[in-house]
Amino acid sequence: MNFYVLNVKTQQERKIMWRDFRENILFAWKYVCHPLRNASVTPSSARAAEAMVAGIDFSDIHTIFELGPGTGVFTKRILKYCRQDTKVVLVEIDPKYAALLQERFGDRVLVEQTSVADLEALVAKHGGKVDLIISGLPVVIPGVTEKLLRVIKKCTDEGTIYRFFSYVPFLVRQVYKGLPVRKVSPCVLLNVPPLWVFEMH
């Protein structure tokens, strides 16, 4: 019996390892195809995902938007901590990632396969109030960042918590100049490349 249970567990572990391996290959391939859109060759680590949500009180969070979820590393962590009835909207431009996210997280998430340039309309579509925005986007997306920051500023002025990460704090200082952004994590070294988490609230 124990041997049987052990064997089943090993099979499950193998299945997850194989899935992670395929996703890492997909991620690297996406980076080759769209380096500016993906900004990294590997998905963020579990440590990075933990840092992204550290210290957030999820008991009063009813609507979450995740921008650029990729293969869902942060999504997994969000779903671990948020309430069962929290609406989780994933905005992902890449159709392959969007399909993968829908398959993996099912009806627990709402996948919007579009650009974050449409964020204002998406927020309105999903009730007009967002409690938390978690962004896995590159800090700079040519032609999008300026518009996106205007919408995010409007949301945070209304009480939204906005979390994002960067591999280059200097770039954050440039792009978010004049905005009330603060670093909320030490350098997460167990990530390729190491990163910092920032918050605007």
Ligand X SMILES: C[S@@+](CC[C@H](N)C(=O)[O-])C[C@H]1O[C@@H](n2cnc3c(N)ncnc32)[C@H](O)[C@@H]1O
Which listed residue (43, 89, 151, 164) binds ligand X by CB under 6 A?
A: 43
Check binding of 162 to ligand X (CB under 6 A).
no
Smallest separation (angstroms) from ligand X to the CB of 14: 23
Say which amino acid occupies 59. S
Check binding of 97 to ligand X (CB under 6 A).
yes
Q: Segment contacting ligand X (CB under 6 A): 12-20, 79-87, 130-138, 171-179?
A: 130-138
Check binding of 73 to ligand X (CB under 6 A).
yes
Smallest separation (angstroms) from ligand X to the CB of 5: 32
The partner residues of 198 in beta bridges, in order of sequence, read 164, 183
Residues 112, 122: contact at Cβ < 8 Å?
yes
Residues 63, 89: contact at Cβ < 8 Å?
yes
Check binding of 133 to ligand X (CB under 6 A).
no
Check binding of 122 to ligand X (CB under 6 A).
no
Check binding of 195 to ligand X (CB under 6 A).
no
Smallest separation (angstroms) from ligand X to the CB of 17: 18
Contacts of 165 (CB under 8 A, 6+ apart): 44, 48, 51, 52, 135, 136, 195, 196, 197, 198
- Which residue in the block uniquely carries the two structure tokens 């989780």? 88
